[in-house]
Structure 1
């Protein structure tokens, strides 16, 4: 007789409820974001990595103000204490967990401490990340660039998530928000190490979401354009490039929290994806042309970082205001 494989009856109710509430949650995030953020996080426990500065720090203040009990993780104990002090002064609940997420043993230790001290983790924001801007031709003897980005952006993020998943399943649901980049859609030159790690994180996130949605565990990706944080400071050209402020970036994460949508991204991300799918050679030509036109960073050329207040136009990059003034003349 032919071998048969019994099929299990799926539980469709959680997915049906989630689909039915999608439009309502989108309207909530659009019409009354502050109120609905408080309704979503008040009394909940939220763990944020990379919380000592930039997006993570700003998010910690926003969620603590909305009533969440925020758990903050980063490498610097001193900086985390400063953030926590500001939150407590404003009446917020906060605990800190210094940790190097790129060190998997340290990551396990921190996760165990969190689980021992808190009965549940309702939201995890994997915000800690490392970016490297260097072309492939300059990376041939720098394989460690790829190891470092993968270690933090991918392995560290999923190690922490997987350590918390058993508790999330026991408690009946949670949300994991993984911070990614517009670059995964636009594929800019010089970011092969960074984008490879974020691409891996995105694939894992989407597969995990496909497997666990019926258990009430929701995964969201946030694809940022440039954000004005210390991460982009070493690249001189970014001083003259439009970028989100950390507060604007936090709005995107709050949208993900309220809506639980799979991906929060701007219109350029979807345009770039469509262009690459429809006209991949044209997309490649556009990016390659920009690659040839733009300069290398000082770090990629083996030079010391730019000193604030010291003019440096050897990269042939000039402030936008100067370009406008010449046009006006």
Structure 2
């Protein structure tokens, strides 16, 4: 005799509350971003990876100024301590957690340390990332390019997120903001390693959101275009390309914090997605012609890129790991 299948009735109340508040939060984020950012994060604990420079550093200053306690992670101990000192001197709260997120053992060590030292972590922003601009045909003997991007952009991000999920459930909620790229929609040539890792991160993020929405755990994706940070410095052509400033990029992340919307991105992302879905062959032809017309970067040609005059020191992105100093 066949056994009956017993289905549990889903709890729709969290979704109803979230949907009811979505329009109000978006309007607030548009009209009064500063006030509502402070209301959203004052007294909260926010963990930011890749916080020693660029977007992460600018975000740390913004959130600390709005009243959050910021936990800052990156590989460079010295740079992190400089950021923490600047925040504390301005009256904010900050702690440094030097860590190589791409190293599984080090990532788990940092997560355990944070969970032991802080009773709650309210928002995780997976900002640390590695970009590699190299065509597939030049990567045939460089499979490590794909391993390196996956280790940091995908495995590192979800390893840290999964370490914090039990705490989110215990405290009744939390938010994860994963930094992605416009390239996931536009599919530019020469970024197979980078976009594969970000695409994997986006898929994981969306599935996790579908599973945990009823537990008040929210996931957001931020699809940035080019941002003027050390990450794009090795590619010479980007010095002449339009790009967001770190401050503008921080505005996008703050919008995700205030609204908890699923994805923050520009209109170009939506148009590119529509183009690829409706006219895939034409889209491929356009991208391929652009690929043929543009030169390879110095790094792809096996040369050291020339450092532009007047730019900052980008050494923090390549320094060896230094452990956190105990007091």
TM-score bin (small chain): over 0.9
1:86 equivalent to 2:89? Answer no
Q: Structure 2 CA distance, aligned partners of 1:140 and 1:6?
A: 52
- The alignment partner of 1:63 has SS state of helix
Q: Structure 1 CA distance, aligned partners of 2:309 and 2:115?
A: 46
- The alignment partner of 1:220 has SS state of strand
Q: What aligned pairs does 1:135-150 form with structure 2 within 5 A after superposition?
A: 135-150=135-150
Contact 2:149 2:193 in 1 (8 A): yes
- The alignment partner of 1:3 has SS state of coil
Q: Structure 1 CA distance, aligned partners of 2:231 and 2:143?
A: 20
Q: Which residue of 1 aligns with 2:42?
A: 42
Pair 171,309 (structure 1): closer, same or farther in 2 beyond 3 Å: closer
Q: Which residue of 1 aligns with 2:239?
A: 239
Contact 2:65 2:92 in 1 (8 A): yes
- The alignment partner of 2:124 has SS state of strand
Contact 2:236 2:305 in 1 (8 A): no
Q: Structure 1 CA distance, aligned partners of 2:131 and 2:15?
A: 36
- The alignment partner of 1:223 has SS state of strand
Q: What aligned pairs does 1:105-144 form with structure 2 within 5 A after superposition?
A: 105-144=105-144
CA drift of 1:307 comes to 3.7
CA drift of 1:49 comes to 0.2
Aligned residue pair count: 310
Contact 2:276 2:283 in 1 (8 A): yes
How well do the aligned residues superpose, as a CA RMSD in angstroms? 0.9
Q: Structure 2 CA distance, aligned partners of 1:253 and 1:308?
A: 28
Q: Which residue of 1 aligns with 2:294?
A: 294
Q: Which residue of 1 aligns with 2:257?
A: 257
Map Cα deviations across residues 28-56 of structure 1 (whole Å, 9 max, x no partner).
10000000000000000000000000000
Structure 2: 5+ residue stretches without partners: 311-327
CA drift of 1:305 comes to 1.5
Q: Which residue of 1 aligns with 2:101?
A: 101
Q: Structure 1 CA distance, aligned partners of 2:89 and 2:40?
A: 23
Q: Structure 1 CA distance, aligned partners of 2:309 and 2:42?
A: 44
Q: Which residue of 2 aligns with 1:177?
A: 177
Map Cα deviations across residues 266-311 of structure 1 (whole Å, 9 max, x no partner).
000000000111011111011001000100000000112214349x
Q: Structure 1 CA distance, aligned partners of 2:33 and 2:287?
A: 36
1:77 equivalent to 2:77? Answer yes
Q: TM-score, normalised by structure 2?
A: 0.94
Q: What aligned pairs does 1:179-218 form with structure 2 within 5 A after superposition?
A: 179-218=179-218
Contact 2:206 2:219 in 1 (8 A): yes
Pair 79,271 (structure 1): closer, same or farther in 2 beyond 3 Å: same
- The alignment partner of 1:188 has SS state of coil
Structure whose CA Rg is larger: 1
Q: TM-score, normalised by structure 1?
A: 0.93
- The alignment partner of 1:21 has SS state of helix
Q: Structure 2 CA distance, aligned partners of 1:3 and 1:179?
A: 46
Q: Structure 2 CA distance, aligned partners of 1:14 and 1:269?
A: 29
Q: Structure 1 CA distance, aligned partners of 2:106 and 2:288?
A: 40
